[in-house]
Amino acid sequence: MEDLALSLVKKRFGMEGGELLVGGVRAGALAEKYGTPCFVYDRRVFDEKLDALRTALPKRFRVAYSVKANPSQAILRHFISCDCGLEIASAGEFHQALQAGCNPRQILFAGPGKTVAELEVVLSNGIGEIHIESVTEAQRIGCICKRLGARANVAIRVNPACEAEGGAMRMGGRPTPFGVDEETLDEVLQLVLEDAALSFQGIHLFTGTQILDPKILVNQYRHGLGVARRVVSRTGRPLHRVDFGGGLGIPYFSHEHELDLTELRGALAAVFGEIESDPAFAGTEFMVEPGRFLAGEAGIYLARVNDIKISRGKKFLILDGGMNHHLAASGNLGQTIKRNYPMALLNKLHVPAEETVNVVGPLCTPLDTLARDVILPRAEIGDLFGIFQSGAYARAASPLGFLSHATPPEIWVDAGRDTLVTARGEFFGELPDNSHESTVK
Ligand SMILES: *Cc1c(COP(=O)(O)O)cnc(C)c1O
């Protein structure tokens, strides 16, 4: 077993007789009851992460969950019940949020390329706030509002002129399709302020994802406050909202360390303490909208070892699911270097690792490699394999239709009680009756 997997088992899940527990239930029991491959989620881990985040943030912060990380209904309902807002980036996510029972006023709509149809749907259903990403969008929202007789709460997403990196600022933000360049912010601000159908709420900044260094986050927030201050000096009134986006990371590989929330808490307390009585931020609500940080650690992908073979001296474990369900673990979702996710044989946690193997899925493509040269206990066909850190950007960011395998079900486990929240989906109905041609006589 890789070190990170073992530390996650200890820190978040626990084990019994060498077998992983998820929400107090043996992983093997879940696999038997619901079949493999599947995704399992432990409610307590969602709670731990949200509590830790809220503890690290200064008082005036509100947390929204970013739906694109994982739009599973159970997860949305959970965050809604914990008094989080939801950040969406499509009309589809808006429907999912409403279906989960979210008050539309608690939904923020961000993301480039919002279509007229999408904007109409959210505006006629009382969306809380839309984050404008271009001049076109500002005009479009204004037009739709006039047609619907509505007024929209809008914030402007700013693409900062300099990017926070490590301890230092790297000057010169890069070209990006996200947000409005800080250099042209005045132009869009003017448009918004002049349009009576638009109610200007504030700004939104979000520049990076998977950040594990608190210094980078704090620099981003500090810079965001600077941008906000300049906007306040233009408008002459405090902002209702400053949204710092998501981007808080979780460790995926053995060389990565968890985001130090104690350090983050101290640094944020200092930065936000300075502006405590600043009139520019009187009544301002600050916001973060993480996806990965809140959902990533709570989910595990379970699959079974379906075949084991040796090719020219290399041992391959072939699972019953692969990149079609978990593109990120195969290294094909944006990684430049392929590294192994934290993974383990879940029924052999107490067995010493002694074999170096490659782990692959069942797809007919060399892309479907989940691990290269991972050291695991000696595997047998039928062993239960688990990939950790699979609650965010795993199932939701995978090509589920590729090769037409069944889509993996999702199981929610809450303190010993497991519930099927998404059923397995097949790409075919009844097989056509070809019995006359059957080879089984
Ligand atoms: C994807 C996204 C997020 C969440 O990012 P994480 O890195 O998962 O925290 C938040 N806000 C917006 C606008 C996004 O597009």
pLDDT, tens digit, 9 for 90 and up, residues 299-325: 999 999 999 999 999 999 999 999 999
- What is the number of the ligand 1 atom nearest to the C-alpha of 246? 9
Write down the pLDDT at residue 438: 62
Residues 25-34, mean pLDDT to the nearest whole number: 98
CATH classification (class only), 4-42+296-422: mainly beta
Antiparallel, parallel or unpaired: β 343-345 and 384-387: antiparallel
pLDDT one-digit tens code per residue, 124-150: 999 999 999 999 999 999 999 999 999
pLDDT one-digit tens code per residue, 220-244: 999 999 999 999 999 999 999 999 9
Confidence band (pLDDT; 50, 70, 90) for 397?
very high
Domain segments of the chain as ranges: 4-42+296-422, 110-290
What's the mean per-residue pLDDT of the chain?
Answer: 94
What is the rounded distance in angstroms from the CA atom of residue 154 to the CA atom of residue 200? 5
- Cα(117) to ligand 1 centroid in Å equals 23
What is the rounded distance in angstroms from the CA atom of residue 204 to the CA atom of residue 246? 11
Provide residues with CB under 6 Å of ligand 1.
66, 68-69, 87, 89, 110-111, 206, 209, 245-248, 289-293
pLDDT one-digit tens code per residue, 84-98: 999 999 999 999 999
What is the rounded distance in angstroms from the CA atom of residue 229 to the CA atom of residue 189? 14
pLDDT one-digit tens code per residue, 329-374: 999 998 877 899 999 999 999 999 999 999 999 999 999 999 999 9
What is the rounded distance in angstroms from the CA atom of residue 52 to the CA atom of residue 184? 37
- What is the number of the ligand 1 atom nearest to the C-alpha of 208? 7
Containing H/E element for 185? helix 185-194
Confidence band (pLDDT; 50, 70, 90) for 167?
very low
Q: Per-residue pLDDT for 419 more than 70?
A: yes
Amino acid at 402: F
pLDDT one-digit tens code per residue, 185-194: 999 999 999 9
- Cα(69) to ligand 1 centroid in Å equals 8
User: Which residue puts its alpha carbon closest to atom 3 of ligand 1?
Assistant: 246
Cβ pair 356, 373 in contact under 8 A: yes
User: Which residue puts its alpha carbon closest to atom 13 of ligand 1?
Assistant: 110
- What is the number of the ligand 1 atom nearest to the C-alpha of 157? 13
Write down the pLDDT at residue 427: 87
Domain 110-290 indexed as CATH 3.20.20.10: yes
